[in-house]
A and B are shown apart, each in its own frame.
Chain A
Amino acid sequence: MTVEAPPFRRVLIANRGEIAVRIIRACHEMGMEAVAVYSDADAAAAHVRLADASVRLGPPAPAESYLRIDAIVEAALASGAEAIHPGYGFLAERASFARAVESAGLIFVGPSSDAIEALGDKLHARRLAARVGVPSVPGTLEPAPVDRPDQVADILATARRIGFPLLVKAAAGGGGRGMRRVAREEDLAAALVSGSREAASAFGDGSVYLEREILPARHIEVQLLADAHGRVVALGERDCSLQRRHQKLVEEAPAPGLSDDQRRYLHGLAVRMGEAASLRNAATCEFLRDPEGDFWFLEVNTRLQVEHGVTELVAGVDIVREQLRIAGGAPLSAEVIEAGERAASPTSHAIEVRIAAEDPSRSFAPTPGRVGRWVMPAGPGVRVDTHIEAGDRIPPDYDNLMAKLMVHAHDRDAAIDRLRRALDETEIGGVQTSLPFHRAVARSDAFRRGELSTGWVDANWDGAGARRKAVRRALLAAGLDALDTAPVAGAAWAASSKAGVGVRRDADAGGNAWRRAGRGQGVDRWPS
């Protein structure tokens, strides 16, 4: 076997957080240098520490740093990088970014700017699906006339035909931004305006359209890899049904409960979309599965997904490595093609939970702050992709993902057992995280039975109730410990307490006094 030469000498990663760290690791494994970019909020961040060189972009606000196309292309040219990997989020699905990279004579690690335009715009993608006979979710194929009061009657008639409740979605959207659920006719106009406003602020494009809400639905997506020679391979599907506010919380591969024939059919639909759009590099084709078992095309994400890791574990393919190879002009490797052939008959199972800085008992509201205790799980079949260390700040300026905890086992039951075990080992202090929710998922009978739907969280998660139980136990534990160590009562009690439980605690208190005092001031809990 010959050793493949690295596709590039140096790659710039136009991202931050865990995904920047993930891509830097792939670069280093392939013998390439990695260049990081950073905002002032990330000057000491993990991706900067890990990279071989780093370039400052600007102040913390994304518009002044990670969204600055000119500054990023300039950083790549100045640092001698030959290729730019966009990660996910930020500029990953901006055709204008890919085009700027291409015209600077650099390689964009992803689909061509034309393909991003065709597939990244959901309305374009819906029209493309219609052309190649892939069924998409019923709805409109053209932007809604948000700024035309005279056309309100038309859009209402269309909405009635689609049926309520329906969704207002951003054509340029992703991650639920710009999306509104409309249950009643009279709320449609306001939803169109607010959805359009959020879309315009998030993506610079306020186009919105209407789509039927399929409920209960499962969200199932297919990982695609394609090379410059027109070959498109489906590496397998993921079930990402567990979401809140249209943001994924838990993902698994393969999707439970599908037959090999259903998998083959679904993968075929995705490959057809990829071929129709002349797809190159990595993309994900998303579908909804209705209660009758029918698949409806939703959208194509023309980038690496957050949840790509579960497919890597099950397919045995390093997707980021393949992205870099393909970007360097290589055809799909033999392993990828074999993995594609096996994809309809998976032989193992992987689950990922997204540990984020948010409070699952308060509608998953974000909880930026400084991380205190940080203990991640390890052991067989456990993978943690993270950029966090104890003492790190979670800035309020960016996505609040802290770590992706993935488990891999021979089947789904074993993977769930492993997830529960790994979550029991996980301890995070300083900021509230989504851990309580994930712990409940790993113990849920409904989840184990594979009863998944996009309404799962509302139906199965009682955040306030879980918190109430935890509060009582927290108070009991702290109270019992205080009783135990109270320097009161008789000498005999004090003496035996000193000799026993009290000893360790006294030693601890001394070592941490300054740290506790600092935290007590709370200056970092809600940074500016």
Chain B
Amino acid sequence: MAELTSPGGPAESESTDVSPVHVDPRAVRVRLAAASSTGDEPALRLSPVGQPLRMTNPTIGRGPLGGVAVPPEPVDPGQTAVLAQRQPVEVDGVRADVVLHSSGGGRFVLDEAGVATRVFLESAASAGGGSQRREVIVDGFLFEVETESERIASLRERASRGRAASAHSGPLEVRAIIPGKVVAVSVVTGDAVTAGQQLRVVEAMKMQNELRAPRDGTISRVGVAPGVKIEVGDLLVVIS
């Protein structure tokens, strides 16, 4: 399998103090939507390099003029198959060797440091608040991806920074990640549990799936009883 080379950018957290007034108005923030995210994938910040008004150089193919601005030429609107976005970009503040080629019909080839990957991008739809959401298929994986203006994203972050600090302590709600039927409940309110301990057995698609405690704690609430049908997102237990 193709190995990705990391551009080696600093592992900055989202709360990096970037003053909104200095954010490039063209920069975008891209992240997995909640439905696709497991919670630990960092968002990427992409911004074009250079002055906005000079960036008129989508060129045909990947010629030897890499990185050199080419005067704009008339482009045939039907000739999308070989168009490549050659605008140099920074990913998380670091210059990255990435190019996206369109093959038409939503199919693209992402070229990162010479490693090509086929990508399918569904048409984008508004996800509210100025962000766009779309389905992306890579290597058979399916993701809901949200894109928004970096300026809006960083403004929102500054506004919510105070609240984020306190979000890590407190009770942990364990919710269903698959729909099914609860066939066994292994803990009751007040039980002390250790990480990995079985909490529930949920039957879905003819399989019995064991649900285990994500961390140590005490069961402060039990949401469902055996025999109950559950949906994704239903509260199963609260660990405090």
Contact = CB atoms under 8 A, between A and B. Distances in A.
B49 to A, nearest CB: 11
Given A373-B120, A470-B139, A483-B26, A496 B72 contact: yes
Contact of B121 (A194, A437, A477, A513): A477
Given A400-B205, A482-B28, 9 more contacts: A197-B183, A428-B140, A440-B1, A472-B4, A477-B138, A483-B89, A489-B55, A496-B58, A500-B79
Interface residues of A, number: 84
Nearest to B73: A496
Contact of B83 (A466, A477, A500): A500
A439 B31 CA distance: 25
B44 A492 contact: no
A528 interface: yes
Interface of B: 1, 4, 25-26, 28, 30-32, 35, 38, 41, 43-44, 46-48, 52-53, 55-56, 58, 72, 74-75, 77, 79-80, 83, 85, 87, 89, 91, 96, 98-100, 102, 104-106, 108, 110, 112, 117-125, 127, 132-143, 145, 147, 177-180, 183-184, 201, 203-209, 231-232
Given A476-B98, A480-B85, A481-B121, A470 B141 contact: yes
Nearest to A431: B142
A2 interface: no
A368 B176 CA distance: 14
A528 B138 contact: no
A19 B208 CA distance: 24
A416 to B, nearest CB: 14
A429 B135 contact: yes
Given A427-B120, A478-B121, A471 B80 contact: no
A245 interface: yes
B179 A368 contact: yes
Interface in A476-508: 476-484, 486, 488-490, 492-493, 496-497, 499-501, 503-505, 508
A526 interface: yes
A526 B123 contact: no
Contacts of A443: 1
A362 B209 CA distance: 12
Contacts of B183: 197, 201
Contacts of B99: 480
B136 A477 contact: yes
A467 interface: yes
A372 interface: yes
Q: Which of A474, A513, A519 has the most CB of B within 10 A?
A: A474
A522 B135 CA distance: 13
A169 interface: no
Contacts, number: 243
B145 A478 contact: yes
A486 B28 contact: yes
Nearest to A491: B53
Contacts of A372: 122, 135
A467 B122 CA distance: 19
Contacts of B231: 526, 528
A29 to B, nearest CB: 31
Dominant secondary structure of chain B at its interface with chain A: strand
Contacts of B91: 476, 479
Interface in A414-450: 423-424, 426-440, 443
A305 interface: no
Nearest to A528: B231
Contacts of B25: 488-489
Given A439-B139, A476-B44, A488-B25, A493 B125 contact: no
Q: Which of B25, B47, B85, B142 has the most CB of A within 10 A?
A: B142
**Interchain residue pairs A-B with the least CB separation, the first 3:** A435-B140, A516-B125, A489-B52
A282 to B, nearest CB: 23
A396 interface: yes
A468 to B, nearest CB: 8
28 contacts: A362-B177, A396-B179, A397-B205, A428-B140, A435-B140, A435-B141, A466-B141, A470-B139, A470-B141, A471-B143, A474-B32, A475-B30, A480-B85, A483-B87, A484-B85, A484-B100, A490-B55, A493-B56, A496-B75, A501-B58, A511-B123, A513-B125, A516-B123, A516-B124, A516-B125, A517-B125, A522-B35, A528-B231
B205 A361 contact: no
A504 B81 CA distance: 11
Contacts of B46: 476, 479-480, 482-483
Q: Which of A438, A466, A469, A525 has the most CB of B within 10 A?
A: A469
Given A177-B207, A201-B183, A493-B56, A429 B89 contact: no
B119 to A, nearest CB: 4
Given A373-B120, A473-B117, A500 B141 contact: no
A429 B137 CA distance: 7
A177 B208 CA distance: 8
A330 interface: no
B66 to A, nearest CB: 16
Nearest to A462: B1
Contacts of B28: 479, 482-483, 486
Contact of B140 (A433, A468, A508): A433
A368 B74 CA distance: 47
Contacts of A488: 25-26, 52
